[in-house]
Structure 1
Amino acid sequence: MSKHKPKLILVYEPEKACFDRLLADGFPPQRATEISSYLAQSTDIAADFAALAAACSARGLAFAPVALDDAGEALERADAENTLVWTLSDGIAYFRGGAAPALARLKGLRTIGADDSLFALCQDKFRSGAVLGALGLPVPQAGLARDGKWLVEPPASAAGWFVKPNRLGAKIGIWPDSRVGDLGHALQLSRRVFAAYRDDVVVQPYVAGRNVRASFLGLTPQTGTEALGVAFVDSGADFQTMADSMALYGETGEEAKAAGLYAEPQLVAVADVQPLADARIRAIAGRLIGGLGLRDVFSVDLRVEADDTVHMIEFEVCPGLPCFDFRDYCRKQWGLELADAMAATAASRLTSQRRYG
């Protein structure tokens, strides 16, 4: 029997490491800043490291935050029987976090979250949309364009279309004109996205409704969709742009707060306003757990219309844990601050016999 103290390793990719790689790859500094800002939770969660260490210690665990570039060595030394790996930031294109769960599997280490195949799938919105559609989930059908040329033409839409990058934080529209009324404009946006970010664009029929975030953290392996937190996220805008995103999180978020430009969106429980929509979203989450393999920690972004029609937009295997909405979820659902909720989840896995393959 191993004598090592059970340990939670939190693997994260720092903004600065990503920024430096993007510069080396030829991205201009402004674009590198924008792209690396998607790793803001790695910056924001650093303020919680001391609380995480204390919360883990209170439950008999050691805690080790590990930057992604150091993960290979850290996981090589880890004791497979008593180590749990939690990957904070994902990515297969601009970001590299998807390597962490694959490396953990290679080393025979237990993990929190979905298996590494879903880390790749969720970052390619066109492919993930096809899989979600095959599972019967209510995702808008999509076209795909690259640098002004259609790879797959989008369906007709009387309400117009929404254009978003395929692999770069893809629920946002980048620019305020990302909702378009003609497909010529969509192709123009695909040229702008390709020139700025070297990415394809997904072009979907525009769907009306309010933005909803469904958050999940399973404090025990038996936790089900009853623990899902489903909330309207009302920011006053129809959709989030790159500028909106950068004003909320990370280093750029701190600058926005200092300049008085930060406005935290309001959260309203969907069940309090549209209980039928809430029930439909929980059924969607159940399908994602049973049919796709989501587990432990994830989020789902949706649009909900006034008649309770639900449109699923995307899922995330690495939700923004230190973000305002996930912290709010931990308090309301579990009565815990983020650090204690994470430590309790890790302890329940390390003390159970369940192993993830």
Structure 2
Amino acid sequence: MSSRKPKLILVYEPKKACFDRLVADNHVPERAVEIASYLAQSTDIAAEFDALAAACQKRGLSFAPVTLDAAASVLAGEDPKTTLVWTLTDGIAYFRGGAAPALARLNGLKAIGADDALFALCQDKFRSGAVLGALGLPVPRAGLARDGAWLVAPPDSPAGWFVKPNRLGAKIGIWPDSRCHDLGHALELSRRVFAAYRDDVVVQPYVAGRNARASFLGLKPDTGAEAIGIALVDSGSDFQTMQDSLALYGDTGVAAKAAGNYAEPLLLPVGASQPRADARIRRIAESLMVGLGLRDVFSIDFRVEADDSVHLIEFEVCPGLPCFDFRDYCRQQWGLSLANAMAETAMNRLRA
């Protein structure tokens, strides 16, 4: 039996490392800043390191934050009997966090989160949409365009279309005109995205409704779908643009707080106003846990219509842990701060 103290290793990709790599790959610095901003949670989580170390120490664990570039060498020296790896950042293209769970598996280490295959799938919106559709889930059908040319034609849509980058998530590179009413404009958006970010675009029928997020943390190994928290996310706008996203997280969010300009979206329980929609979302989430393999920690984004129709938009295997919505979930569902919720989850997993 190993005599080493049980350890939680948090692997994260810093914004600067990503920015430097993108610029070296000839991305325009202004666009590299926008791309790297999606890693703002690596900036925000740093403020939690002392609290995480203390929460882990209280439970008999040690805590080690490890940058992604150091992960290969660090994980190779860890004891599989006493080490748990938690990956903060996913990514297969612009970001590289999807390598961390694979490295954990390579070294026989326990890991929090889904299989590394899902880290890749969730970052390709077109492919993940195809899989979700094959599972019979209510995901909007999608076309795919690259630099002004259709790779897959989108379906007809009387309400117009929504255009977003394929591998950068639902927010990166999204402009106010990303909801469009003719396919010529959708192709123009694909040219803009390709020029700015070298990415394809997903073109989906626009769906009305309010934005909702389902959050999950498996605090105990037997935690099931009953612990999913489902909230409407009301930012006052139909969808979040790049500028909206920049204002909430990382250095820009810190500056906004200091200037008194920071405003978090309102979080409203779906069940309080639309219990049927809440029940439908919960069933969809359970289907993803059973059929797709989501577990331990994840989030799922939805659009909820007034008649309780629900549209599945995307899932994330690395939700923004230090973001306002996940912190609120930890308080509401588990009565714990983020640091204590993470430490409690790690302790329960290592002792299972």
Q: Which residue of 2 aligns with 1:216?
A: 216
Which residue in 1 is equivalent to 2:101? 101
1:172 touches 1:240 (CA, 8 Å); kept in 2? no
* Residue 41 of structure 1, CA deviation: 0.5
Gaps of 5+ in 1: 353-357
CA-to-aligned-CA distance 1:86-125 (integer Å, 9 cap, x gap): 0000100000000000010000000000010000000000
**Aligned sequence identity (%):** 78
Q: Which moved more, 1:10-19 or 1:260-269?
A: 260-269
Q: Which amino acid aligns with 2:342?
A: M
Find out whether 1:298 has 2:286 as its counterpart: no
> What CA distance in whole angstroms lies between the structure 2 residues aligned with 1:95 and 1:62?
27
Give the whole-Å Cα distance in 1 for the aligned partners of 2:91 and 2:69. 14
- Distance in 1 of aligned mates of 2:117 and 2:252: 31
Q: 8 Å contact 2:171–2:241 — kept in the other structure?
A: no
The answer to whether structure 1 residue 249 and structure 2 residue 249 are counterparts is yes
TM-superposed CA distance for 1:170, in Å, is 2.6
8 Å contact 2:171–2:245 — kept in the other structure?
no
8 Å contact from structure 2 (residues 209, 303) kept in 1? yes
Distance 2:264 2:167 in 1: 25
Distance 2:162 2:305 in 1: 16
Query: How far is 1:262 from its partner?
Result: 2.3
Please tell me whether residue 205 in structure 1 is matched to residue 205 in structure 2. Answer: yes
Report the Cα offset of residue 73 of structure 1.
1.1
Q: How far 1:189 moved relative to its partner? A: 0.1
CA distance in 2 between partners of 1:156 and 1:171 (Å): 23
Aligned residues of 2:125 and 2:169 also touching (Cα < 8 A): no
Aligned to 2:350: 350
- The 8 Å contact of residues 84 and 110 in structure 1, kept in 2 or not, is answered as yes
CA distance in 2, matches of 1:172, 1:273: 30
SS in 2 for 1:102: helix
- How far apart are the structure 2 equivalents of 1:233 and 1:243? 17
For residues 276 and 89 of structure 2, what CA distance do their matches in structure 1 show? Answer: 33
1:39-94 Cα distance to aligned partner (Å, 9 max, x none) = 01010000000010011111111100000001011101100110000000010000
Q: Which secondary structure does the structure 1 equivalent of 2:47 belong to?
A: helix
- Report the alpha carbon displacement of residue 172 of structure 1 after superposing the two structures with TM: 5.7
What displacement does 1:161 show?
Answer: 0.2
Q: What's the counterpart of residue 6 of structure 1?
A: 6
1:156 paired to 2:193: no
Aligned length: 352
SS of 1:159 mapped into structure 2? coil
Question: Structure 2: 5+ residue runs without aligned partners?
Answer: none
What is the CA–CA distance in structure 1 between the aligned matches of 2:71 and 2:12, rounded to whole Å? 9
**What is the SS of the residue equivalent to 2:176?**
coil
Aligned counterparts of 2:343 and 2:260: Cα–Cα separation in 1: 34
> Normalized against structure 2, the TM-score is what?
0.99
Q: TM-score, normalised by structure 1?
A: 0.97
Counterpart residue number, 1:355: none
1:191-243 deviation digits (Å, cap 9, x = unpaired): 00000000000000000000001000010111011100100000000000000
Equivalent residue, structure 1, for 2:175: 175
In 1: Cα distance, 2:205 partner to 2:103 partner: 38
- In structure 2, distance between residues paired with 1:169 and 1:36: 12
Q: Which residue of 1 aligns with 2:289?
A: 289
Check conservation: 1:18, 1:95, Cα contact below 8 A. Answer: yes
Matched, 1:61 2:61: yes
**Does 2:199 correspond to 1:191?**
no
Structure 2 CA distance, aligned partners of 1:172 and 1:237? 16
**Residues 34, 172 of structure 2: 8 Å contact kept:** no
The match for 1:319 is: 319
CA contact (8 A) 2:301 2:315 kept: yes
Tell me which residue corresponds to 1:142.
142
Between the aligned partners of 2:172 and 2:139, the Cα distance in structure 1 is 16
1:303-343: per-residue Cα shift (whole Å, max 9, x none)?
00000000000000000000000000000000000000000
| Aligned counterparts, 1:62-141, within 5 A | 62-141=62-141
Is the 1:162–1:173 Cα contact (8 Å) retained in structure 2? Answer: no
Is 1:47 aligned with 2:44? no
RMSD of aligned alpha carbons: 0.9
Checking the alignment, whether the CA contact within 8 Å between 1:12 and 1:89 is kept in structure 2 is yes
SS in 1 for 2:3: coil
How far has the Cα of 1:169 moved from its partner? Answer: 1.7
Between the aligned partners of 2:156 and 2:147, the Cα distance in structure 1 is: 21
**Greater shift in the superposed pair: 3-12 or 164-173:** 164-173
SS at structure 2 position matched to 1:3: coil
Distance change in 2, residues 1:172/1:13 (3 Å): closer
CA contact (8 A) 1:173 1:240 kept: no
Residue number in structure 1 paired with 2:24: 24
Using the TM superposition, give the Cα deviation of residue 258 of structure 1 relative to its aligned residue in structure 2, in angstroms.
3.5
Q: What secondary structure is seen at the aligned counterpart in 2 of 1:75?
A: helix
What amino acid sits opposite 1:265 in the alignment?
Answer: P
* Kept in 2: contact 1:288–1:294 (CA 8 A): yes
Deviation, 1:139, is 0.2
Alpha-carbon shift at residue 259 of structure 1 (Å): 4.2
